[in-house]
Amino acid sequence: MIKEKVYKEKKIEKSVILPGDPFGLPDDFKVVVFIDNAYLIRLENYFFEDKFSYSVKNLVEFLAEKNNFFVSKIYLYDAPPFQSKQSNEREKKMKENYDKFISFFKMQGFIVREGRTQRLRVGDSFIYRQKGVDMLLGIDMIGILKEFPKLKTVILLSGDSDFVPVVKKLKSFGIKVVLWTYFEKNRKNPFSRSNYLIDSVDEFIKLNKEDFVGCKIKELENE
């Protein structure tokens, strides 16, 4: 008898009750979240050796509610996998899986912004780098003030010190910048602390493995 795996999204219990229509809340409550998805994927893989399914939307809402924020909009930045002029089966499969995830994010209301993936030959192998993603994120962080002129707080989920200039620019406009990130003190760790980025923001929240576990998508088995 074949068992079919079914994934059920875990519902997060609301720890903060915001009165009335959220769009009528004071501006201090409202935030816009900007997610560096490549960083988030690296962090997930660092925390979990085996495949782990969780809800990014629940993670964002959970972290925001702990700080009495209402999320007005979520931006997510990534780049589709590299495709050769004549894509091989592996490249096609990677693109197919990527498109499914991106479609799911869009269905959940995320604003998805995409750069491109560059392939570089190094010796006998290739390395892949995202291009244009950081630029898009920086442009949108500044541009969001046109859509939300009374916005007082933005949240950045990343660990990239390249965002320091845009953080400083936002602060010069009187915008509070909160960083969601992870770091270790060990300089050899892939998530060694970036004092330059952390010192640039108004405050930061250190993510932990339990935050992800709390947003796990439950796996059910049906016979």
Angle between helices 133-147 and 164-172 (to 10 degrees): 10
Residue 76 has pLDDT above 80, yes or no: yes
Cα separation, 208 vs 60, in Å, equals 13
Average confidence (pLDDT) over 78-91: 87
Residues 177, 110: Cα–Cα separation, whole Å: 20
Name the nearest CA neighbour of 219 among 48, 54, 15. 54
pLDDT band for position 121 (cuts 50, 70, 90): confident
Is 20 part of any domain?
Answer: no
Domain encompassing residue 173? 4-13+27-222
**36: in domain:** yes
44 in a domain, yes or no? yes
Q: What is the CATH number of the domain that holds 142?
A: 3.40.50.1010
Q: State how many domains the chain has.
A: 1
Distances (CA, A) of 120 to 79, 117, 127, 134, 165: 16, 10, 5, 19, 27
Is residue 7 pLDDT above 80, yes or no? no
Asked, for residue 22, whether it belongs to a domain, the answer is no
18 lies in some domain: no
Q: Is pLDDT larger for residue 37 or for residue 218?
A: 37
Q: What is the mean pLDDT of residues 47-76?
A: 91
Q: Is residue 93 part of a domain?
A: yes
How much is the average pLDDT of 5-18?
43
Q: Write the pLDDT tens digit of every residue in 142-170.
A: 999 999 999 999 999 999 999 999 999 99
* Sign for the pseudo-dihedral over CA of 15, 21, 26, 29: positive
- 21 within domain boundaries: no
Give yes or no for residue 126 having a pLDDT over 90: no
Q: Which residue has the higher pLDDT, 200 or 88?
A: 200
Would the pTM count as exceeding 0.85? no
- Asked if residue 147 is part of any domain, the answer here is yes
Q: What mean pLDDT is predicted for residues 31-47? A: 95
